[in-house]
Chain A
Amino acid sequence: AAGVIQSPRHLIKEKRETATLKCYPIPRHDTVYWYQQGPGQDPQFLISFYEKMQSDKGSIPDRFSAQQFSDYHSELNMSSLELGDSALYFCASSWGTSGGLSYEQYFGPGTRLTVT
């Protein structure tokens, strides 16, 4: 079965550079979520999109932005990178959240970002 695809899997950037992470949800899933997991920490929600519209926002820095495209893939753009941005970034997808019923989230393998 198709899973959530994230690219790249590993990324090394220097401070103040920019990075773009991509996420391709499971086919027919219309909701995408981004999470950040720092070393030894639990995943923290960043932002989500439902039908290409931002649906919720968590502790996402203003230096980060994201969007969901017409084919439902999503990109997380990170600018002015800081050492503290080094983390594992997960994308998850689910099928709809209509009527408040939330469905199972399927996670991608993550993108490991290292900022030097």
Chain B
Amino acid sequence: KQEVTQIPAALSVPEGENLVLNCSFTDSAIYNLQWFRQDPGKGLTSLLLIQSSQREQTSGRLNASLDKSSGRSTLYIAASQPGDSATYLCAVGKNDYKLSFGAGTTVTVRA
């Protein structure tokens, strides 16, 4: 059974600092990995998708890396803004269709 762990569980930084969110998974036989953002009580917004053959993906201030062999992914958010405050979820996809989610990292960016 795929176990997905996200560290830290919560993070508070001043505006302008770079954010580093970590995700680890136990079964390296994955097909892809997605990073999501969730605002309180709201839906999931897909941020980045990394296929298993890729090592990183970038979108604006976001960059996600994937090291499949060590079972790790890292989401970097550059020059954080108060609007980046949310919970960030990492989810791993295998060939059985479903995504296995981590518990998320709750980020607070202080103005």
A binds B: yes
Q: Considering the chains assembled together, what is the distance between the CA atoms of A88 and B91 in angstroms?
A: 17
What's the nearest-Cβ distance from chain B to residue A64, in Å? 15
- 1/0 per residue, CB under 8 A from B, across A37-62: the answer is 00001111100101000011010000
Q: Is the CB of A58 within 8 A of B44?
A: no
Are B101 and A101 in touch, CB under 8 angstroms? no
B31/A101 in contact, CB under 8 A: yes
Partner of A102, one of B36, B93, B101, B102: B93
The total of chain A residues at the interface (CB under 8 A) is 28
Residues of chain B contacted by A116 (CB below 8 angstroms): none
User: Chain B contacts of A31 at CB under 8 A?
Assistant: 97
Measured CB to CB, the closest approach of chain B to A105, in angstroms, equals 6
> How many residues on the B side are at the interface (Cβ–Cβ under 8 A)?
26
- A residues less than 8 Å from B31 (CB atoms): 100-102
A104 touches B34 (CB 8 A): yes
Within 8 A of A (CB), among B63-108: 89, 91, 93-104
Task: A92 to B44: give the CA distance in the assembly, Å.
Answer: 10
CB-defined contacts of A106 to chain B, threshold 8 Å? 46
- Can you offer 25 A-B residue contacts whose CB atoms are under 8 A? A35-B99, A42-B102, A43-B44, A43-B89, A43-B99, A43-B101, A44-B101, A48-B98, A55-B97, A56-B98, A90-B43, A97-B95, A100-B31, A102-B31, A102-B32, A102-B97, A105-B34, A105-B93, A105-B99, A107-B36, A107-B43, A109-B43, A110-B42, A110-B43, A112-B41
